[in-house]
Amino acid sequence: MIRLLKIELRKIATYRAFWLITGLYAFLLAFLIFGIPGLIDYIAEKTPNNTQIRIFKAIVFNFPDIWQNITFVASLRYFIKIIIGIIVIITITNEFTFQTIRLNIVNGMSRSDFILSKLQFIILLSLASTLIIFLSGLYLGLMYSSAKEFSLIFSKSIFLLAYFIEISTYLIFALFIGILIKKTGFSIIVFMLYLLIEPIIDYKIPDKYCPYLPLNAMNSLIRTPNTSLIKIKSPGFNYDFQEFLAISDVAICLGYAALFIGLIYLILKKRNL
Amino acid sequence: METVLSIKKLSKRYGRIHAVSNLSLNIEKGNIFGLLGPNGSGKTTTLGIILDVVNANNGSYHWFGKNPCKESRRKIGAILEQPVFYPYLSALKNLMIVADIKKVSYSEIKKVLNTVRLFERRNSKFKTFSYGMKQRLAIASALLGNPEVLIFDEPTNGLDPQGIAEIRDLILNIASQGMTIILASHLLDEVQKTCTHVAVLKEGKKLFSGNVNDVLNISDTIEIASNNLEVLSIAVNEYDKIISVKKEGNLLIVKLSEGTSTSDLNNYLISKGIVLSHLSMKKKNLEKHFFEILKESK
């Protein structure tokens, strides 16, 4: 098992493009983590009546709700997770551009091995991404949370698991697009375009089907946090708090992951490499 | 004889084009087997199928008497049409990936890099290599793990004369160690110089296959002429060691049965009172035979 991951890591170990994009991701993330508290302060300073913003800052980083807040922001579909999606697309489409998928198969990988090696790589990327979110949350919480009891800190960390499931499914979706299209540039365009297309589909079809669209399904794992501005701005508004993950949401999301993996397998089995 | 590869009634269509049709072959251990045919005759497709990168429409193949699987591919060293590696990785890193896939120890990498004289350049990125070096790295990669079979697809394509000579020497050197080799080529000269067995392909069909030496022996022809071609023709046709006689201009093209020499023929004609005005032996090479086979098949 580890052998396949080792092969996959060797492919990118000295690949400059991979490290550049990963560096960009890390830079943006660090910028956000260290910048957001300051940004909130800055906005508060510029706003004459800033009580709501001050309250917002006081509760948004609170344990344990910070886990929902931070994973919600990290999994926003138009946000930095696109960068990891692009990393996956580049690594898979490279195998077709350089025909190195043939190198792998001819030398003794089965097609399932090849898919498995990519999936392991995705799991590793997702774990790394989740770890970064965890560390960021821990840092922000310890800096700004009013409550710092150990039991509180980890009580809602189930949202980290939700983030892991979501980002894994999202990256498997990226892998699927890369394998389907093969060309790097075109795959990235289709991947980004789908972000715009799904809301249109969402608008056109009856509401009851909307949660079943792939990106909606992924995003609905972590709902809009109860500590959002909505609650603060309208204290009387009875917002539906999300305390636990809904099993049905997880099932739909994992169902999509399984569907994409199945399609990837079928495509590679049928295709002449 | 131990059969390394047996192909049964293999067919592959790309749309309406039959890239390979109903191809059957057996390759025995120790053979240097040439797959000979013009461009587009189905050589690369055939190799693609037996290496599991192309799906056949019909037929089957067996490696080492077993159904094809990834384990059998690890006992095969293959060089595809073009040297394929990760361009941004060094030669060494690329070979480490191949070694990982083949489950071969890294300690073998130094040996194969030395064989192809690339050890000094092991830390250079693949994309900085010249075409000849890329091809040599491909050979090094194929040699990793002491494979039982080596497959070369047009190994000298795109190389300069010096590169061609180098690669051929390498192949002959490897062949002398008793490995089974499958060599696809459109160059008859190459097949003739290196192979023990040959299959001639055209438009995906096998036209001919057999021992290269058999092909060469059968195809020796003799040109003869005398003042009276008709008398000569009658006399030659009566000779019992003749396979075929053909008239071409004012020459007779004669094929003799195996073990019969030109002097045997000349002695016979002298005994019949015929003096030849022209006698020349054409040691026909595979090339002519190849073109003949291609022509006959039309």
What CATH number corresponds to the domain at position B233? 3.30.70
- For residue B271, tell me if it sits in a domain: yes
- CA A232 vs CA A49, A54, A59, A243: distances in Å: 14, 11, 10, 18
Q: Is B204 left (phi over 0), alpha (psi -120 to 50) or beta?
A: left
Is the same domain home to B265 and B171?
A: no
Does A73 have pLDDT greater than 80?
yes
- CA B40 vs CA A103, B7, B80, B227: distances in Å: 22, 19, 15, 47
pTM: 0.84
Rounded to the nearest angstrom, the minimum Cα separation between B101 and chain A is 6
Among B216, B250, B274, residue at a domain's last position: B216
Is the same domain home to B190 and B208?
A: yes
Q: State residue B93's pLDDT score.
A: 96
pLDDT digits (tens, 9 = 90+) for A20-49: 999 998 888 888 888 888 888 888 888 777
Inter-chain residue contact B69 with A103, CB threshold 8 Å: no
Q: What is the mean pLDDT of residues B97-109?
A: 95
List the domain range (segments joined by +) for residue A242: 2-270
Is the same domain home to B40 and B143?
A: yes
CB proximity A97 to B under 8 Å: no
- For residue B294, tell me if it sits in a domain: no
User: Cβ neighbours of residue B15 under 8 Å, at least 6 residues apart?
Assistant: none
Rounded to the nearest angstrom, the minimum Cα separation between B235 and chain A is 59
Q: Look at A253 and A225; give whichever has higher pLDDT.
A: A253
Does A156 have pLDDT greater than 90?
no
- For residue B293, tell me if it sits in a domain: no
Strand bridging mode B149-153 / B242-248: unpaired
Q: State residue A100's pLDDT score.
A: 95
User: By a Cβ cutoff of 8 Å, what residues of chain B touch chain A?
Assistant: 48, 51-55, 69-71, 73-74, 76, 78, 80, 82, 84-90, 93, 96-98, 100-103, 141
Q: What is the mean pLDDT of residues B177-190?
A: 87
Is the same domain home to B183 and B55?
A: yes
pLDDT level of residue A78 (50, 70, 90 thresholds): confident
Is the same domain home to B21 and B164?
A: yes
Is the same domain home to B57 and B196?
A: yes
Q: What is the mean pLDDT of residues B249-270?
A: 82
Is the same domain home to B197 and B264?
A: no
Is the same domain home to B104 and B153?
A: yes
Residue-averaged pLDDT of chain A: 87
Does A227 have pLDDT greater than 60?
no
pLDDT digits (tens, 9 = 90+) for B36-90: 888 888 999 999 999 999 999 999 999 999 998 999 999 999 988 889 999 999 9
Count of alpha carbons within 13 angstroms of residue B16, beta-carbon side: 0
- CA–CA gap between residue B227 and residue B211 (Å, rounded): 39
Does B298 have pLDDT greater than 70?
no
- CA–CA gap between residue A153 and residue A62 (Å, rounded): 9
CB B34 within 8 A of CB B195: yes
Structure tokens at A151: 């039991």
3-state SS assignment for residue B70:
helix
| Chain B residues within 8 A of A97 when measuring between CB atoms | none
- For residue B18, tell me if it sits in a domain: yes
- For residue B196, tell me if it sits in a domain: yes
Does B216 have pLDDT greater than 80?
no
pLDDT level of residue A236 (50, 70, 90 thresholds): low
Q: What is the mean pLDDT of residues A53-62?
A: 78
Inter-chain residue contact A108 with B73, CB threshold 8 Å: yes
Is the same domain home to B264 and B201?
A: no
Count of alpha carbons within 13 angstroms of residue A39, beta-carbon side: 6
Q: What is the mean pLDDT of residues A182-196?
A: 95
Is the same domain home to B61 and B182?
A: yes
Does B188 have pLDDT greater than 90?
no
- CA–CA gap between residue B139 and residue B129 (Å, rounded): 14
List the domain range (segments joined by +) for residue B46: 3-216
Give the lowest-confidence range in A19-33, A116-130, A213-227, B124-138: A213-227
User: Cβ neighbours of residue B81 under 8 Å, at least 6 residues apart?
Assistant: B44, B153, B154, B157
Inter-chain residue contact B98 with A102, CB threshold 8 Å: no
How many domains does one find in chain A?
A: 1
Pairs of CB atoms within 8 A across A/B: 82
Is the same domain home to B32 and B122?
A: yes
How many domains does one find in chain B?
A: 2
How many C-beta atoms surround the C-beta of residue B157 within 10 A? 15
Q: What is the mean pLDDT of residues A61-87?
A: 85
Is the same domain home to B226 and B123?
A: no
Q: Which CATH number goes with the domain that contains B145? A: 3.40.50.300
Name residue A113's amino acid: D
